Chain A
Amino acid sequence: DSGVTQTPKHLITATGQRVTLRCSPRSGDLSVYWYQQSLDQGLQFLIQYYNGEERAKGNILERFSAQQFPDLHSELNLSSLELGDSALYFCASSPPDRLYGYTFGSGTRLTVV
């Protein structure tokens, strides 16, 4: 157990639907990062939050959005889902010190059918 909790572990949904992925960071970590991992694109950075505020954006589609709540948990919302959105979605967290490595959760495997 890395200390980063992601739910659900698996999700199967139909095209056009909307889903919410949840992440609880490791205790004491203020930063939360979302990554998408697919076979053809590798590990793509989506978005970062620090203590409730958006800090950095990567290759995140307009159909995707995220937020970090006061208790520091984060949610990634994926809407108008397409077959190509099928992937592993990872959340990671890190301490306030910017030169620490990230702690990853075990991921949510999303399958769009």
Chain B
Amino acid sequence: SQQGEEDPQALSIQEGENATMNCSYKTSINNLQWYRQNSGRGLVHLILIRSNEREKHSGRLRVTLDTSKKSSSLLITASRAADTASYFCATGTIIQGAQKLVFGQGTRLTINP
């Protein structure tokens, strides 16, 4: 079953604009991760934010986490055509010493030149 729910399901913007994707989840987590998937390819890990962190940056990516609202957002600034992909949030929980990662359905992002 899916834990994270991304919003919107699809997003289309012009190159150079910022893209914001949201993720909501239901249960307590240890961390939340964002991944990118180009069509038909493997997922690529973008960023991990721990449950005790509120914001994290990596290059043009900014991730926020609000554990009180059980939500996270991924902001991609100054978007490029190469950012066109599906973006997934994944909630990480530690069960019996092992991390279990559950993925949402993803947001399909299209950057128009």
A98 and B94 in contact, given A33-B101, A105-B42, A106-B41 (Cβ under 8 angstroms): yes
Task: Pick the residue among A4, A88, A102, A109 that contacts B101 (CB under 8 A).
Answer: A102
- Contact size range, B: 20 to 34
Nearest B residue to A49, CB-CB? B98
Bound Cα distance A34, B90 (Å): 15
Inter-chain contact A56/B44, CB cutoff 8 Å: no
B42 touches A107 (CB 8 A): yes
Of residues 54 through 113 on chain A, the ones whose CB sits less than 8 Å from some CB of chain B are 55-56, 58-59, 88, 90, 92, 94, 98-107, 109
B99 touches A94 (CB 8 A): yes
Measured between alpha carbons, how far is A103 from B35 in the docked complex, in Å?
Answer: 10
Q: Which residues of A contact B40 (CB under 8 A)?
A: 88, 107, 109
Q: How far is the CA of A42 from the CA of B102 in the complex (A)?
A: 11
Give chain B interface residues in 32-61, CB to chain A under 8 Å: 33, 35, 40-45, 47-48, 50
Which residue of the partner chain, among A43, A48, A100, A106, contacts B100 with CB atoms under 8 Å?
A48
> What total of chain A residues lie within 8 Å of the partner, measured CB to CB?
29
Tell me, yes or no, whether B82 is within 8 Å of chain A by CB.
no
- Option from B45, B47, B50, B103 in Cβ contact (under 8 Å) with A43: B103
Q: Find chain A residues with CB under 8 A from B95 CB.
A: 56
CB contact between A90 and one of B42, B47, B92, B99 (< 8 Å): that residue: B42
Interface pair A99/B42, CB less than 8 Å apart:
no
Task: Name the residue on A nearest B104 (C-beta).
Answer: A42
Q: List 27 A-B contacts (CB under 8 A).
A: A2-B44, A42-B2, A42-B103, A42-B104, A42-B105, A43-B43, A43-B106, A48-B98, A55-B96, A56-B98, A56-B100, A58-B100, A90-B43, A92-B43, A98-B97, A99-B31, A99-B99, A101-B35, A101-B45, A101-B48, A102-B101, A103-B45, A104-B35, A104-B43, A104-B44, A104-B45, A107-B41
